[in-house]
Structure 1
Amino acid sequence: MELYEIAFAGELVPGAQPELVKANLAKLFQADAQRMALLFSGRKIVIKSNLDEATAEKYRSTLARAGAIAIVQALEAVVEEIELAPPPAAPAPVVTAVAAVVPDSVGFKPLKVAPRDEYMAAFIDVEAPDFGVAPIGVDLQDARPAAQPPAVDFSQFSLAPVGSDMGQATSNAQAVAPDTSHLSLQ
């Protein structure tokens, strides 16, 4: 798919008034006076890039209706050349893994692995436990003692008898009925 860019170099459609074209473009691009001065400086200013053909034509026709001549240019496809690394001179000798298994005090057997290539040679002294697969139904969680409840002293608290006053504030003031003698129904 070919891509295009839209540019403007300050050229106007024949017979267009410069002030009217500037006002149209300022409204179209929502640009201030400084940007409009840059747009009409005479230099080629790229407005939009990486457009398909239909979108580029829309931009061109919109700018033409505003009174400006747009420059539509096809973008050249950039082909990036990559230099490949040379192949290795000779394959590294393959060493079969012979592990010396010495039982650990926890029950794990450390696994010693022989390097298969130069990269793995950096990990020759790494010891990794040889974890196996547990049989079905075996509990793998370590046993923990039951949680002990906290020791809290409740001796300072007591219970009140049923129906006793718990210290709520009571209101002794009787509500006074408002005077409605001046109201009447018709």
Structure 2
Amino acid sequence: MEMRYNIYFAGEVLPGHDPDRVRLAVGQLFKANEATLNKLFNGRLQVVKRSCDKATALKYKQAMEKVGARPVIKTADPADSAPVTKTEPTPAPAAATPAEKPLSAAERIAALAAAPDVPSSAEPAPAAESEGPADSSGVSVAPPQSDVLRPEERQRVAERDIDTGDLAVDESATRLADPSPAPPPAPDVTHLSMGDTGEDIPTLPSDTTPLNPNTDAIDLSPEGTDFSDCAAPDAPDPQLDLSAIDLAPEGSDVLAEEFRKKAPAQSPKTDHIALED
């Protein structure tokens, strides 16, 4: 019997992904509403797909990991995939009822996610077997090793004819460039010596003309000289319009009622307090 797998999700996000973006992407992937998303991201294992083959499990794994969600895949209980046999005759069909619109794969996933929580410490109970075939409208599983993309969906790579006749492969460990030349020898400095501090260097030419300003007309003022005439003049008084300002009568309250200080708190009674010897 072919191995079957159950796919679960506990709201775990792959490293490097933003949890809010992953939650939004999972909602779009499964077409789930806010209540279903809250259940998927409550930290407990939720069934996303039950009793599927390996190819389907890999498709769910790739789709969920692509949006940053970490799926949990476990082998399914054989009872989940056991065929159902019937010995009773098929009852006659009931009165014709309006055909219900088949659920899409995303809607069935959302319905499974809305099922009761599955404890993480134990395998979930197998789904109840139905007496009729499962509704798989709109969903098909390709055989193993099938191409994922149709021929018209594949990227076409233009073949290029590159002439490699002038190229050659050197032997292993061959240098890619010629070795660098040896550095020149160090200069001879045995004839050089250090001069004393402040000593002129006779061999160093100087084209700068030394400054020699004439200071004959400059004299120092005697001690105690008044330099007040050098101070800046006093600033004029500002011209302010005070016609709209009036003084309150003497004894008027400065603060309004709500800003006044309340009556001081009374001192606590200390009659019942005594000091022991």
Q: TM-score, normalized by length of structure 1?
A: 0.41
Q: Which has the higher strand share?
A: 1
